[in-house]
Copies of this chain bind each other. A is one copy, B any other.
């Protein structure tokens, strides 16, 4: 139970985000009300324990959790219909704000955006742990009241997330760079695979799989996200096109110096991504292990790795396209890789660095 959160909280929209938020808040005994135009979704979310159906009672905070296209109009409706503080969980922040220009009570609104989602949609995909430890951008605009901003901070914390404070403009620039641009470039790479000869695709390794994974995301959702953040996305895409022109020229003319500069900038970019727990990126190293591809073998590997007292930072599994073995890459702190390799080797695993 929180003293700082205005209650009850009304969640508008019981998709995977809204329902997950209700479940997360209920863990902390926050009073939650739910509304949705889709009566079946509302019943399901309520049945899951995400909150009680809204029946027009007085509320302290409205959380708009509807698809990107409808965030602006639903925030305006909440400001008009209630005297509560209002926030939202949409992926873009300036476009809905433009729709709110001149709306009375705008100071009661401060935006938010949890960096969490699911490949599934609807209330049945919801989980109370969806936001645990994820960043939650809190994006007050110039006229947001201190009370509105504080309420969104507290909402994010109660949901289990970490607050990252940004202006709406900064937020949209940030997600254009860290989410929308990577998504669209991944889509362009994947698009070149769509009509490739099958025997060419037989050479696909882990690299192309990693680069194109996000390109499998729901096109209709991404249409709304990208359109809603058009200015920031178009600006970055134009920067990439300019770099791409330099790159094409460097490749076509064999200009190794220009090519090298572009490649070095890419390396610098990978190092700029914050490391684990928000701290500076620690150097890591990989230990590769050949693992028979059937149930239980990964368990045995991780048990053995755990027994070596080395913390696994990341794992990649590269499947053998032709036989029943997999190659598991264990990413660990650079200073621990030798110890892990020796330890696994001593337990009979085929390893290499």
Residues of A within 8 A of B (CB): 20, 115, 118-120, 125-127, 129-130, 132-135, 137, 162, 164, 166, 170-171, 173-175, 177-179, 181-194, 196-205, 207-217, 219-220, 222-223, 226-227, 230, 233-234, 236-241, 243-245, 247-248, 251-252, 254, 256, 259-260, 262-274, 276-278, 286, 288, 290, 293-307, 309-317, 319-325, 327, 350-353
Contact = CB atoms under 8 A, between A and B. Distances in A.
B243 A248 contact: no
Contacts of A268: 190-191, 194
**How many copies of this chain sit in the oligomeric assembly?**
2
A306 B295 contact: yes
A322 B158 CA distance: 14
Those 3 A-B pairs whose CB atoms lie nearest each other, nearest first: A127-B352, A133-B320, A299-B306
B315 A216 contact: no
Given A115-B203, A178-B200, A269 B223 contact: no
A166 B278 contact: no
Given A118-B353, A259-B223, A210 B213 contact: yes
A323 B277 contact: yes
Contact of A223 (B204, B256, B299, B300): B256
A199 B118 CA distance: 24
Contact of A306 (B127, B189, B222, B298): B298
Contacts of A208: 178-179, 182, 273
A167 B286 CA distance: 33
Nearest to A118: B353
A285 B248 CA distance: 38
Nearest to A221: B263
Nearest to A336: B295
Nearest to A228: B254
Contact of A178 (B119, B188, B203, B239): B203
Contacts of A259: 223, 226-227
Contacts of A238: 248
